[in-house]
Chain A
């Protein structure tokens, strides 16, 4: 399995995919505090009619956190979706999979190695994002609750892993990139719609992880709720990966 992970990481490095993801995450993490700090001022100067005085509250570090997590959950998540499916399905669509599976490689190891590679990619990208954001936020706002911010990234990371597992599942089922992409988007879209429901079991659905950051940073989080949400997401991830392995181990591969 280590050989497969090494090969996949090498592929990400040589095809610049690793750098692209890291740079995109890095840029957004730097832009988040800048946008939080200067966007209200900019909008005010552009939109306020002459003679009317509008008082805009001074941006706080909380606005920077909000901006960061908003960027992560919208733009970055879409980038991850596109990249993850591409990485999972490329060997199938390019006809390399039969050659790989003609070697003594366990199909379970193949799936797990792809999944681990993506987690490594996203974790490193997120660390870059955390460092970039923390540095710029400290420069612009003179404060950063680094420990709480770091902690609030853990549910975020788990949510990304959940999205990756959806991509893995559909990339395993489908033979084409587009079909896998549309299916993953479909599920992601339904989950996003379900996020408006905050009662009953829906309260603990994976999307809830993306809303925990403010509670964690302000130290007002209900630990029990967080743990249940984390556990539910973890179970869903395990289910999706297990399903992918089960499907792949019984799947016929055509040349």
Chain B
């Protein structure tokens, strides 16, 4: 069952198209990485899912039910973590979670148990100080605790690690990892190392459009087959030779040699070695490159923008 689904979701601000006919489907139990550069339309999409913004056209469905802007009842199934969470300065963590729990209608012993459990889950159970004295990392963990207080079916996280240092980031990613399989997580970010670690499926958007939507493994397979690093006895000459070869579609100088990518495997197999031998170039090193998600992201977005 699709837990979150958008159907031709569009948001326009005057002539600016923030989200353009977005069609995404998040299945039950998935950790769905919603990635894109700043201004790609990630936050606008989340704001429409949360009914903070009205779609110009299109629909959002939660558990296959269309949501209406005025309706807030579906939000009882959702936990939300923003990029830079804001808290009432005069409260401590326990008071804040109690307040959020009450907003969800949780009361009495159940509320006390949930507050204690969630504080323990995000490792803030011993913190007695007011929230205004918290580090960014602690605030973000408290925001996650608040998003879990209602035991939501869906967790929407909007760049939860973007303002954190590496240690804070790791703690947040560890928490998401612990939630894997227990919640459906809609995880928006532009930090791709985090995505590779926790997401089952990713959706890359740019200028409000879906560019890729697939599993991390499939995307890596699709985008990473043909790129090599080569170091030879004469890189300057071999660069010229490769540059004049029609089967080379990408070529770049690197501190360790040359990076090239072929367009046609048959040509590569039949012409690569003769090219070296005929020109008396000796091979020192040839290594297939493993691109990471970030390379793919840059490649795809750059290609998209160039076109």
Contact = CB atoms under 8 A, between A and B. Distances in A.
A103 interface: yes
Interface in B86-145: 86-88, 90-91, 99-100, 102-105
A7 interface: yes
B136 to A, nearest CB: 15
Contacts of B82: 98-99, 255
B76 A98 contact: no
A53 interface: no
Given A7-B99, A253-B52, A99 B72 contact: no
B99 A102 contact: no
B72 A105 contact: yes
B43 interface: yes
Contacts of B78: 102
B53 A102 contact: no
B86 A104 contact: no
A15 B78 CA distance: 30
Contacts of B102: 3, 6-7
Contacts of B70: 107, 249-250
A249 B72 CA distance: 11
Interface string B67-82: 0011011111010101
A106 B80 contact: no
Interface string A96-123: 1011111111110000000000000000
B90 A102 contact: no
A102 B74 CA distance: 10
Contact of B73 (A94, A104, A249): A104
Contact of A11 (B53, B90, B103): B90
Nearest to B51: A101
A104 B71 CA distance: 8
A102 B50 contact: yes
Contacts of A250: 54, 69-70
Contacts of B233: none
Nearest to A95: B86
Interface string A1-22: 0011011000100110000000
A243 B91 CA distance: 32
Contacts of A253: 47, 52-53
Contacts of B85: 99
B86 A96 contact: yes
B100 A103 contact: yes
A7 B87 CA distance: 13
A55 interface: no
Given A3-B103, A14-B90, A94-B86, A99 B75 contact: no
Contacts of A107: 70, 72
A252 interface: yes
A104 B90 contact: no
Contact of A102 (B69, B75, B88): B75
A254 interface: yes
B76 A96 contact: no
A101 B103 contact: no
A255 B47 contact: yes
Nearest to A11: B88
A252 B104 contact: no
Interface in B140-173: 158
Contacts of B76: 104
Contacts of A95: 84, 86
Contact of B52 (A3, A4, A94, A102): A102
A123 B167 CA distance: 50
Contacts of B53: 252-254
B104 A104 contact: yes
A106 B102 CA distance: 14
A123 B69 CA distance: 35
Contacts of B74: 104
A98 B69 CA distance: 14
B52 A15 contact: no
Contacts of A7: 99, 102
Contacts of B73: 104
Nearest to A13: B90
27 contacts: A3-B99, A3-B103, A7-B99, A11-B90, A14-B91, A96-B88, A98-B47, A98-B82, A99-B82, A101-B72, A102-B52, A102-B78, A103-B72, A104-B72, A104-B75, A105-B75, A105-B103, A106-B72, A249-B70, A250-B54, A250-B69, A252-B53, A253-B52, A254-B47, A255-B43, A255-B52, A255-B158
Interface of B: 43, 47, 50-54, 69-70, 72-76, 78, 80, 82, 84-88, 90-91, 99-100, 102-105, 158
